[in-house]
Structures are given as structure tokens and as C-alpha cells.
């Protein structure tokens, strides 16, 4: 699955990212963060966060049973039908 982002808002004067953007996938900024006590995410960490979001294409996010799967190791319960991102 290929993930595409289409911004709704204009770019910020501070980092030139659209105001509704999370990060710049084309140019990861190592060592930068919005908080002084945090670090930037590595590409594998970003992929894990985004992969969880793909679950909600098929599963109801308001169903507590769907959300409970994230308390455990959700990857063990994934089927071959589950969407996965290719971040290469």
C-alpha cells in the first residue's frame, strides 16, 4: 500500500511543512523535535506508527474490541488481508 498525503493547509513559516503535516517524508530531519526532551523518530518507527493507522481502513476505530488489539502484540494477529505500508 502506498500512502499519499495531500495537505489542506498552507505551509508553515517555521519549517515549510503544511500546517496539517506530521513530518517531511522526503527529507527526514535527524535530531530535530518539537520538544526539548524528545528525539526525532527513525524511519522504522514512523512506519510502525503509520501501519497502525492503516488498520482503521477496515476495522471500526470506535469499537473497543478493535482498539483492544493494540494492547497486545497486534502484529501476531494480523492476517494476510491486512494493509501494510511499503516505506522503501
Which pLDDT belongs to residue 22?
78
11-25, 41-55, 64-78: range with lowest mean pLDDT: 64-78
19-23, 65-69, 76-80: range with lowest mean pLDDT: 65-69
Integer Cα distance of 32 and 36 in angstroms: 9
Backbone angles phi, psi at 70, to 5 degrees: -80, -10
15 found inside a domain: no
| Structural contact between residues 54 and 84, judged by C-beta atoms closer than 8 angstroms | yes
1 has pLDDT over 70 = no
- Domain of residue 50 covers 43-77
36 found inside a domain: no
16 found inside a domain: no
56 found inside a domain: yes
Tally the domains of the chain.
1
Task: Please give the model's pTM, rounded to 2 decimal places.
Answer: 0.56
Which pLDDT belongs to residue 7?
92
47 found inside a domain: yes
48 found inside a domain: yes
Integer Cα distance of 80 and 71 in angstroms: 21
88 found inside a domain: no
Which pLDDT belongs to residue 62?
73
Q: Which of 64, 65, 39, 47 is nearest to 3 (CA)?
A: 47
8 found inside a domain: no
Amino acid at each position: 500500500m502506498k500512502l499519499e498525503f495531500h495537505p489542506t493547509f498552507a505551509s508553515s513559516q517555521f519549517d515549510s511543512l503544511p500546517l496539517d503535516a506530521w513530518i517531511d517524508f522526503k527529507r527526514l530531519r535527524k535530531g530535530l523535535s518539537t520538544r526539548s526532551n524528545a528525539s526525532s523518530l527513525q524511519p522504522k518507527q514512523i512506519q510502525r506508527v503509520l501501519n497502525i493507522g492503516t488498520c482503521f481502513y477496515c476495522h471500526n476505530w470506535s469499537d473497543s474490541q478493535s482498539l483492544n488489539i493494540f494492547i497486545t502484540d497486534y502484529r501476531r494477529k494480523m492476517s494476510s488481508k491486512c494493509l501494510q505500508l511499503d516505506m522503501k
